[in-house]
Chain A
Amino acid sequence: MTDSKKLMRSYLIGFVLSLGLTLIAFVLTTIQSDFQGKAYPDLPLAVALVTLAITQLIVQLLFFFHLGHEAKPRLNLASFLFMLMVVGIVAFGSLWIMYHLNYNMMPHEVETYIQQEENIELDSSNDHEHHH
């Protein structure tokens, strides 16, 4: 098979796979939202959607970008992995910090209310909201 035919095949396969993954994601979402309305998506469905997205990412990286197929040194692959690390730190870090910030900034009245209503101890340290 000539180079250009191989290349064409690569794009066609990548396209068909991506199309399939996209349609599955949309169908799953549509079925789900027809049946219920919740505050946050079901964990299993959320995981499924993210998995589909990551799979499509890998498909496109392989079939459109030909990542990893370059000659050594594989600098494209290396810088890609580095980017993933930075993104991981930024995204995870932001979500982690903001979640805790949100929690720690909870007004005293709301915290007391929750403790009374649900009969639980919210936080063992007493003065986290008094750091002014």
Chain B
Amino acid sequence: MSHAEAALRHQAEFAKTTLGFWVYLMTDCVLFACLFATYAVLRGGTAGGPTGAQLFDLNFILIETLLLLASSLTTGIALVGLAAKQTKLIWASLGLTFLLGAGFLGMELYEFGVLLAEGHGPQASAFLTAYFTLVGTHGFHIAVGLLWLLVLVYFLYKRGVTSSFEKRLTMFALFWHFLDIIWIFIFTLVYLMGALS
């Protein structure tokens, strides 16, 4: 196969994978939409217990939000490193992405832990069930993303920047940006609106 043919092959592969992954992300959006709709319906069902306004700490959530937003930026920077063929930049930005993402997840687990310890777990009321399911599903996606990131970094270390790595890093970036977008709606509809009620 000539050089030109190989290049075209790679491009076609890349385009196919990108579209396929994108369609998966769209189905994930529908999943989250269902969880949001459920939350919207059930948020009033506090069973005499606390509401969101009484449970949410907005400063805490602001920091979480900033961590995740920053990790979205660093993921983008990794793609810049890819385009500019600067492997050191890829390493640095992926490392930062992991730290920021792990920070977010750690804070969220802490938040859940506090709620559970105080008896405000998902079994306490319909509102809390819906809240834990929605936010927990997002958190689970973040955890899987972090795992994926570790695997990516491992293969970067083992095999360097291959076309396969380029493809997978790009898909990871799509996934990570998508999670930040879902979070925008979580912090707006759940935390901010909740704190106002």
Contact = CB atoms under 8 A, between A and B. Distances in A.
Given A11-B76, A40-B197, A53 B188 contact: yes
Contacts of B195: 29, 33
B23 interface: yes
Contacts of A45: 196
A61 B178 CA distance: 9
Interface in B139-188: 174, 177, 180-181, 184-185, 187-188
Given A64-B177, A76-B19, A94-B41, A25 B192 contact: yes
A53 to B, nearest CB: 4
A76 B27 CA distance: 13
A53 B184 contact: yes
Given A15-B69, A41-B197, A26 B192 contact: yes
Contacts of A8: 76-77, 80
B192 A49 contact: yes
B73 A15 contact: yes
Contacts of A52: 188
Contacts of B30: 83, 86-87, 90
Contact of B69 (A18, A26, A33, A95): A18
Interface string A69-96: 0000001100110110011001100110
A60 B179 CA distance: 11
Contacts of B33: 86-87, 90-91
Contacts of A79: 19, 22-23, 26
Given A7-B80, A50-B188, A60 B180 contact: yes
Nearest to B176: A64
A25 B188 contact: yes
15 contacts: A2-B84, A11-B80, A14-B76, A22-B69, A25-B188, A29-B195, A49-B193, A60-B177, A64-B76, A65-B174, A79-B19, A80-B22, A80-B26, A87-B33, A90-B34
Interface of A: 2-4, 7-8, 10-12, 14-15, 18-19, 22, 25-26, 29-30, 32-33, 37-42, 45-46, 49-50, 52-53, 56-57, 60-61, 64-65, 75-76, 79-80, 82-83, 86-87, 90-91, 94-95, 98
